[in-house]
Structure 1
Amino acid sequence: MSERERTVGYSEVAEQDVRSLRTRFCRLRTGGGEPVAELEAVSFRLRFGAVAVAAEGIGGVETQPGFRRQGHMSRLLRRALDGMAQRVDVAFVSEAIEGLYEKFGFAGALAEGSLVVPVRAVESATGADLEADVPGVGDGSAADLPAMIRLYNTAHARRPWTLERQAGWNRLLPATTWKPGSRTLVLRAGGTTAGYAVLEGRAFGDPLGTVTVEELVAEDATAARLLLVALARLCWQRRLAEFTVREPADSLVGRVARGMGCAYRQSFPPSGGMMAAVLNRAALVTRLEPELRRRAAIGRGPDPLHDTAFAALLHGDLVPDDRALVRLLLGHWSAEDADAHGMPVPARHRDVCTAWFPGGGTPALPTPYAHRLDRY
């Protein structure tokens, strides 16, 4: 090891507001102050269903070219995770590097999904005239953000992996000459905002080849249908046959689109992508005990075996693998999925675990989903 490598030190920079999120910068530098590697620890509250817990996410991971392949990033990640474990009980990565984060206890815990909606399906299901304007639908502005935040939180309040948006949230991208910004369509009815759609912007000179909606939220099925008609009309004007909506299939918008006829495309990356790690098992499980009790009580009432099974879960006698635990808690896996992956649930706890870990997309637990406007 060279003298320069031996003098590399670690530091954390106090939290700052970055992209509407509280961010702590973790850095390695040489003794002379030369930058070696850096990452961001982003603070937020993330949902495991009806309960939101304090969490931190890793982003902005970078090693300077002259210091790569020397183990510095591993050192930085370990130091950063040690610090995170003093503040929160669970960590996340939005876009993990394949084959890297597993060694630090992370596991892939979220699938990527989107609705693909044919224009003709919308036209046929609604009888809409795609040459005519959709009543109440127009371009949105910053003044619509408070209503959009309210609609979003109401629609996704119990969805695992969802961030609860706070007052002042604004992750919409501003448009510049060479970078696409966000375009917002808003549906107004009776003097209030009844729904909105945020479209992925097009860079200057891009062909009109796709329409992609980053998120679409509506207060009821009627509002959802009107917004889908507005998007179908936009595609009709551009001579496109279909559009993509990045919303989960079990959302209100997903159910309306499925009723019209659409495809749902989902991918499960074997490594990388969106990952999670348990930092403090006992503390995390304790915070989520009300959520587990809620799941177990749906359609069954209180379970007399809950307390015994919970004690086993708390101490690691039940689901000892933390990677499997975080997948089960988030709904990425069900108890049956754990069985399929060689982690069977003991027979005495099977009924309780089946209720605790039903998997996403069930009455007890909506499908886990990370909206793109909240990724870091």
Structure 2
Amino acid sequence: MPEPEPEHESAVHYTEAADQQVRTLRTRYCRLRTGTGAPVAELEAVSLRVRFGAVAVDAEGIGGVETEPDYRRRGHMGRLLRRALAGMAQRVDVAFVSDGIEGVYEKFGFVNAVAEGVLVVPVRAVERATGGDAGAAVPGVRSGSATDLPAMVRLYNAAHARRPWTLERQAGWNRLVARATWQPGSQILLVHAHGALTGYAVLEGRAFGDPVGAVVADEVVAQDAAAAARLLAALARRCWQSRVSEFTLREPADSLVGRVARHMGCTEQRGFRPGGGMMAAVLNRDALVRTLEPELRRRAAARRQPDPDHDTALAALQHGDLVPDDTALVRLLLGHWSSGDAEAVGAAVPERYRALCAAWFPGGGTASLPVPYAHRLDRY
């Protein structure tokens, strides 16, 4: 018996379900359905608080995008995205995509705005830096559990408070990989000093019985260099026990832990994808620039002299007379590009605003703006 033909596109309608709490994130379900209520396509709009330097803004992220097999290649996903983005623009001024199909989201104003990076640390480098034996136990390091998450969240927010793209973790945050049959889930290492948490590491879990091919830390956060060194030594010990010569650290190179790893000796591996992941789109340019005005003034203050054109330039930025391309603007605001990077690809800056734009948009990894980074455990 042949399969019934899908209903005509005109019979498909759009719905949004009420917000629901999913793993500490508020999630709105945006759907296309047929006249009889059969599902056609669906996506999730996740509520986030995302950093643009020292300022955290309300945003929404797109995830869980799916079209039912019988309705694919008929334009339904584009229709759903347009309706969902129109609704998002009524609530927030910027949207994000953690992971997507390359060549799709670019059509809706999204652009890659974060580089993917890891640090690869040799065990021998840690041994030389600490003067210890990689196989010896590291004093003050112990295993942790989900009960330690509140203190870990406070330490994480303190360490990454001004890092662009970083999500501000809320009370009750728990995006650790759960333990399941044959899988140990995320593993936690903690360092304490004087009764207070000073550092932690979250290790990527492997399936039980898998051959050990790598030791990977999804994140390592420390309050001071001593705690960072202990955690790196503990990771080196894990490698020594598994007969692995190096470990991978998913942390930005300009973080405290990243700087300690660089001092010990490591290799940074960074990739700049053309599309499909770590993407952002400006939904309401004027409102976003107004919200970020304190952040732009903070960056400009690094020049230590007032600029008489600041207010004029800010108005030009809001109205699109300065950096008219929204995809360039979001890259500049997040620090994926510096003003020099933008000019190198044809985004001309008027001479009178060039010095101010260099301060507003210094690029990530500078004294006034850390590298933009999307931590693995916050991806949705």
TM range (shorter): over 0.9
Q: Residue in 2 aligned with 1:220? A: 224
Q: Retained in 2: the 8 A contact 1:130–1:229?
A: yes
TM-score (norm 2): 0.97
Distance in 1 (CA, whole Å) between partners of 2:182 and 2:235 is 24
Q: How many pairs are equivalent?
A: 376
Q: For residue 30 of structure 2, what is the amino acid of its counterpart? A: C
Aligned partner of residue 8 in structure 2, secondary structure: helix
Distance 1:180 1:4 in 2: 47
Q: Tell me the equivalent position of 1:337.
A: 341
- The CA distance in 1 between the partners of 2:248 and 2:36, in whole Å, is 50
- Mapped to 2, the partners of 1:299 and 1:349 lie a distance apart of 14
Note if contact 1:107-1:323 (Cα within 8 Å) is conserved in structure 2: yes
Alignment-derived partner of residue 12 in structure 1: 16
Alignment of 1:34-73 (within 5 A): 34-73=38-77
- Superposition RMSD on alpha carbons, in Å? 1.1
Secondary structure of the residue aligned to 2:329 is helix
Matched-pair contact (CA < 8 Å) for 2:123–2:134: no
CA distance in 2, matches of 1:98, 1:49: 27
Aligned-residue offset at 1:117: 0.3
Q: Deviations over 1:292-323 (max 9, x none)?
A: 01000014233222111111111100000000
Contact between 1:298 and 1:364, CA under 8 Å: does it hold in 2? Answer: yes
For 1:248, the equivalent position in structure 2 comes to 252
Post-superposition CA distance 1:338-374 (Å, at most 9, x none) = 0111111111110000000000000010000010111
Identify the residue that residue 118 of structure 1 maps to in structure 2: 122
What per-residue deviation string (whole Å, max 9, x for no partner) do you get for residues 84-115 of structure 1?
00000000000021000011000110100111
Residues 117 and 257 in structure 1, CA contact (< 8 A), matched pair in contact too: yes
1:53 aligned partner, one-letter code: V
| % identity of equivalent residues | 73
Q: What is the CA–CA distance in structure 2 between the aligned matches of 1:255 and 1:135, rounded to whole Å?
A: 22
271, 280, 287: which one aligns with 1:267: 271
Residue 297 of structure 1, aligned match among 291, 295, 301: 301
CA contact (8 A) 2:219 2:375 kept: yes
TM-score (norm 1): 0.98
Residue 131 of structure 1 deviates from its aligned partner by 2.5
Report SS of the residue matched to 1:58. strand
Are residues 1:157 and 2:161 paired? yes
1:106 corresponds to which of 104, 110, 129:
110
Match in the other structure for 1:177? 181
Q: Is the 8 A contact 1:123 1:130 kept in 2?
A: yes
The Cα of 1:3 is off from its aligned counterpart by: 4.4
Measured against aligned partners, the alpha-carbon deviations of 1:265-318 in whole angstroms (never above 9, x if no partner) come to 000001111100000000000000110010000142332221111111111000
Task: Name the counterpart of 1:346.
Answer: 350
Measure the CA separation in 2 of the matches of 1:93 and 1:329: 17
Find the residue that maps to 1:285 and give its secondary structure: helix
* One-letter identity of the residue aligned with 1:82: A
Query: Are the structure 2 counterparts of residues 56 and 128 from structure 1 closer, same or farther at C-alpha, using a change threshold of 3 Å?
Result: same
> Counterpart of 2:63 in structure 1: which amino acid?
G
Q: Which runs of 4+ in 1 moved over 3 A?
A: 1-4
* Cα offset, 1:204, TM superposition: 2.5
Residue 312 in 1 paired to residue 316 in 2?
yes
AA of the residue aligned to 2:239: C
Q: Secondary structure at the match of 1:207?
A: coil
Residue 2 of structure 1 and its aligned partner are, at CA, apart by 6.9
Query: 1:29 is matched with which residue?
Result: 33
Q: SS in structure 2 opposite 1:160?
A: coil
Q: Deviations over 1:201-226 (max 9, x none)?
A: 00122211101100000000000000
1:297, 1:303 within 8 Å by CA — same for their partners in 2?
no
**One-letter amino acid of the structure 2 residue matched with residue 196 of structure 1:** Y
User: Is 1:97–2:101 an aligned residue pair?
Assistant: yes
Cα separation, 2, equivalents of 1:301 and 1:162: 29
Q: 1:282 touches 1:314 (CA, 8 Å); kept in 2?
A: yes
- Structure 1 unaligned spans of 5+: none
